[in-house]
Structure 1
Amino acid sequence: MLLGIILALLAGSLVSLQNIFNNKVNVHVGSWTTTALVLGLGFAASFTLGLLFEGKGMFDLHALKLWYCFSGLIGVGVVTCMVQGINRLGPTFGVSISMCAQLGFALLFDSMGWLGLDKVEFTFKQLVGVLVIVGGILVFKLGGRKKQSQENAQNSLGAV
């Protein structure tokens, strides 16, 4: 379990780092070029590492359901939406909203047993946990507005 936690923390940090890099690329080349670069380089790296670590075994796809292969198309949406969301909201707020959506949909998919997942009983504690995280993000984002508005008002008065 500890290794799973460490890997999940590492994945979260890498996703945040990737989102910042993607946003910087997007500033220079645009959204679709960014998406193509990100997914193209990701393909090249994973293909090379797959061959290195799995060899020919990486081409053994006989047990794979065809519709699972569409996750690459979903990746286009993920990269494009994250780049645009971060561009409009900033990294912290954009990633926070994305995390809430991930958590909410993961809870929904688990609870309903959709997409071949084992059905997990939905509990009130899970709902409260998701709502606490969403509330924390709202406090984080909206909590500084009053202070910032006061500072802007003082700066405006000082300029007059």
Structure 2
Amino acid sequence: MWGILISMLSGALMSIQGVFNTGVTEKTSVWVAAGWVQLTAFLACVVAWFFTGRPSVTAIAGVHPRYLLLGGIFGAAITYTVIQGMEALGPAKAVLLIVVAQLAVAYLIELFGLFGSDKVEFQFHKLIGLVIAVVGIVIFQK
């Protein structure tokens, strides 16, 4: 139950953040807005770190494989693409496409066991669910 609730909160926060970031972009630029998002996220993490027992920052040097450290670059790219998508399509359409793309890529990562994730067997009903989600996008667009 916790996983369901926290995942729903995550989705809601992403939608709200996308709208906020798009508003900042209208007054500045996409890279100023994306930079501001990353800077304020960093500051929030520092504050949270102070209140959560302060585990060693140097442990980051022990992360293997090293490509796992590229998450911040993905974060900047995500911020940029969400802003652009929301500007072009509006929040509802953009988030719908974002969520379906997340679902498709996450399933492919699981199917092939990419990036150290556990490999799962193909299940036809999951493919049908993904197709239904895509059909939902088409219906939503009309």
The residue aligned with 1:119 is 119
The residue aligned with 1:15 is 14
Deviation at 1:38, TM superposition (A): 0.4
TM-score where L is the length of structure 1: 0.84
**Which consecutive residues of structure 1, in runs of 5 or more, have no partner in the other structure?**
143-160
Where 1:17 maps in the other structure, the secondary structure is helix
Deviation at 1:58, TM superposition (A): 4.4
Deviation at 1:62, TM superposition (A): 4.8
The residue aligned with 1:31 is 30
What number of residue pairs does the alignment pair up?
141
Contact 1:51/1:58, CA 8 A, preserved across alignment: no
The residue aligned with 1:101 is 101
Question: 1-side partners of 2:98 and 2:47: how far apart?
Answer: 29
Question: 2-side partners of 1:58 and 1:10: how far apart?
Answer: 27
Deviation at 1:54, TM superposition (A): 2.8
Question: 1-side partners of 2:46 and 2:34: how far apart?
Answer: 18
- Deviations for 1:51-84, whole angstroms, at most 9, x for unmatched residues? 2213143442354122111110011110001101
The residue aligned with 1:151 is none
Where 1:131 maps in the other structure, the secondary structure is helix
Question: 1-side partners of 2:54 and 2:12: how far apart?
Answer: 29
Query: Based on CA coordinates, which of the two structures has the bigger radius of gyration?
Result: 1
* Alignment of structure 1 residues 9-158 onto 2, 5 Å: 9-65=8-64, 66-142=66-142
Question: 2-side partners of 1:17 and 1:92: how far apart?
Answer: 11
> Deviation above 4 Å: which 4+ runs of structure 1?
none
Question: 2-side partners of 1:61 and 1:72: how far apart?
Answer: 13
- Deviations for 1:12-71, whole angstroms, at most 9, x for unmatched residues? 111111011011111111100000000110011012101221314344235412211111
Aligned-CA RMSD value: 1.2
**Which consecutive residues of structure 2, in runs of 5 or more, have no partner in the other structure?**
none
**Larger displacement relative to structure 2 (101-110 or 59-68):** 59-68
